[in-house]
Chains A and B, each alone.
Chain A
Amino acid sequence: MDTTFTEEQEILRKAAADFLAKEIPEKKVREIEESELGYDPHIWQSMADLGWMGLVIPEKYGGMGMSFQDLTIILEEMGKNIAPGPFFSTILGGAYPILEAGTEEQKKKFLPRIAKGELIFSFAILESQAICDASDMKTKAVRKNGSFVLNGTKLFVEQANNAHYLICVTRTSTATPPEEGITLFIVDTKSPGITIEVMPTIAMDRLCEVKFKAVDVPAENMLGEENKGWILAKNIIERAAIAKACESLGAMEAIVPLTVEYLKQRVQFDQPLAQFQALQHILADMFIRVVAGKYLVYEAAWMKSEGLPCTKQVAMAKAYVNVAYNELSRLMIRLYGGNGTNREFKPGLYYRRAKAAAVAFGGTDFLREIVAKEIGLVS
């Protein structure tokens, strides 16, 4: 057993941290948040030049062929920095699905361009009920001549406003159970009939409504097998869930020292707030929650990286982190006091993202139900 990262991984972590600190400081985060697009094309290209987009893409498709766990190190560091942009959606919602289910032609067509930073992807799954359940997959894809025609509406599609392609989960058959009859497509966002509108959300992270009105998708853009796409969709969600948990863990790790620092500087009653035991124990509790969640997350990420079955561990890790990140960011606001509610201070940045992270790729109750089944409670 080895619960530590390798020297190479520590170097990767340091490089990522250095880059993010330099290129995406807090000021930049706020700028991107307020910008029209919600991402910075210049930073995007720098990240591609560092090899981040191609990190997990095999060398033969122009990537670096590194592991999922290596990727989670970068995500953890991005979480600390709360760096906004379409990195997450492109890698988890584009590169991985194509890598795992794509044909050789699809891999050759898309992966090298993703690695170079030329393509932005996103995963379009949620609909009106906003649940990852096959019964809510109502966007239809109907075969017509050599292609499929899509009709329907997807919601909460991250960075769709910037995406070149979407991986879209559609219904191709009304067979029962609803899990049978789902098919995934790689959809060009420039296709006629697509309209994309940014939804105003708490984290300003460019979640979009995407409407499909008689959108023509070539049959060769089908990802995986017809009517058998639900397993693929579930895998994408499971991988994204643990990736999101890694990102959230990073944010939790940042919150504790930032809050300590603030309490050391803020003087009331002629002494730094950090000297009050009432506040020290809150900080100690926050530290404990981070430490306790850390290896739960690392273990699940490692299992995913090794290709081991990890439905239980992923659900446990994300469920734990959902609650802990929310709680830590809430306490961060409380400990900053009035300044915690001030837009110029950091707590709001983390708090708003904690709310978004906790509902992405499985909310707490959804995940706990998975855990309940996994620990053997009969259903």
Chain B
Amino acid sequence: MDFRLTPEQEKRRKEFFAVCEELERKRPAGIYTLMDAFETDTPEGIAYEEYCRKEFAKRGWLRLGWPAEYGGIGTMMDKVFFNEATGYHGVPGVDVVGVGMLAPMLIHVASEEIKRRFLPPIGNGEVLWCQLWSEPNAGSDLANLSTTAIKKGNEYIINGQKTWTSFAHRAHWGFGLFKTDPHGRKRHNLTFLLVDMKTPGITVRPLYFFDGKHFYNEVFFDDVHVPADNIVGEENKGWQVAQTLAGFERSSVGMVMTLQRQLEDLVKYCNQTRVGRQLLARNQVIRNRLAEVACEIEAARTLAYHIADLQDRNQMALFDASAIKVFSSELWERMAALAAEILGAYSQVKTSKWAPMGGAWESNLNTCFIASIAAGTNEIQKNVIAWFGLGMPRPSAPVPKA
């Protein structure tokens, strides 16, 4: 056991942090956290995201840990350090869907032809992706999806609707699960397809988050023709492909560093803010509660490092990954609630002259739910832990509808 980084790793990590710190300085007002920066839909926000993406792409940082033959540089640990840096500094520019999930999955399971076609534009930061999975009646029960892709000659014809599709309004491409065998058994009837979002018949309509932000969408498919070559894996075996990909969604190290930064910002605020007769920092209740979350952030950080260490050795840490996803996302929710109590009336103020910390916490109070719901809700993660990690029997099947 040795939690130290090698001098070479230290050097790389410092480099990632230095660049991200510089990018943070250029961040437009009203963008505070990793999630916010990505989700900001203003012209300045979009321009900033593009600028950061190009800065990373030219350094090769969107290809960290890839095999050299596809332009990869660095190690899996470098990718972890880079995620830490973007998370800590709240910098966008890494397409969490394309760079974070699709690319590692393609490297593991896709055909050579697909890799050659799709990896370079992701690595060069030229193409943004969206994930066409959830449907109105297929959220946690994803395999219940009903959008069809019927094969006709050299094409699949897609009809149906996807929802909660983040960034679909900006994405150039989408990857999705579609029903290719309407009469097949559940989970054995789905195919994983790559879809050009400019294809005729695709309509993207905004769906607004409860605070009015636009980052996810509804996507409608009306006789959309997709070349059969755009398949990943085999027909009707898309579920397995999706499972592989889900494993890459849950390395939460970036989120943990976002929380670490939030804690540091809160400490700074408490050290400078006098309420009544004392500094907030001298309030025993506040000290105790900030210390409590500090312990939990450090716990999440050490676990994230352990998971990264295992992944670096090509070992899967399936239940640990589910555990840290639940732990850190719930920590995020509690952290936002704690900040609201510390900031009192000021916690509710959006970006304006009245807002402490630029309005970051009003924003955080809204977005803190994303991580616990996206990428397999925490409740689904707990099922996974109970059934497969702890070997508890699945509850009896529900009574069939009359």
Contacts and interface: CB of A to CB of B under 8 A. Distances in A.
Interface of A: 1-6, 9, 69, 256-257, 260, 263-264, 271-272, 274-277, 280-281, 283-285, 287-289, 291-296, 298-299, 302-303, 313, 316-317, 319-320, 323, 365, 367-369, 371-372, 375-379
B247 to A, nearest CB: 17
Contact of B299 (A296, A368, A369): A296
B323 A287 contact: yes
B392 A377 contact: no
Which 9 residue pairs spanning A and B have beta carbons closest together? A295-B302, A368-B291, A284-B382, A280-B386, A371-B291, A372-B287, A284-B385, A296-B299, A291-B323
B290 A375 contact: yes
Chain B, interface size category, equals 35 or more
B294 interface: yes
Interface stretch (B2-10, B123-131, B212-220, B359-367): B2-10
Interface stretch (B50-58, B107-115, B263-271): B263-271
Name the prevailing secondary structure of the B interface residues. Answer: helix
Contacts of A291: 303, 319-320, 323-324, 327
A371 B294 contact: yes
Given A284-B386, A291-B303, A292-B300, A275 B395 contact: yes
A294 B299 CA distance: 8
Interface in B355-402: 379, 381-383, 385-387, 389-396
Contacts of A302: 1-3
B69 interface: no
A271 B394 CA distance: 11
B281 interface: yes
B242 interface: no
Interface string B187-231: 000000000000000000000000000000000000000000000
Contact of B3 (A256, A303, A379): A303
A254 to B, nearest CB: 14
B303 A274 contact: no
Contacts, number: 169
Interface of B: 1-6, 9, 77, 263-264, 267-268, 270-271, 279, 281-282, 287-288, 290-292, 294-296, 298-300, 302-303, 305-306, 309-310, 319-320, 323-324, 326-327, 379, 381-383, 385-387, 389-396
A316 B9 CA distance: 25
A6 to B, nearest CB: 8
B396 A275 contact: yes
A288 B3 CA distance: 22
Given A281-B379, A287-B389, A295-B305, 19 more contacts: A3-B3, A3-B302, A260-B391, A274-B392, A275-B395, A280-B382, A280-B386, A281-B383, A284-B386, A288-B326, A302-B3, A316-B299, A317-B295, A369-B288, A369-B291, A371-B294, A372-B291, A375-B264, A376-B264
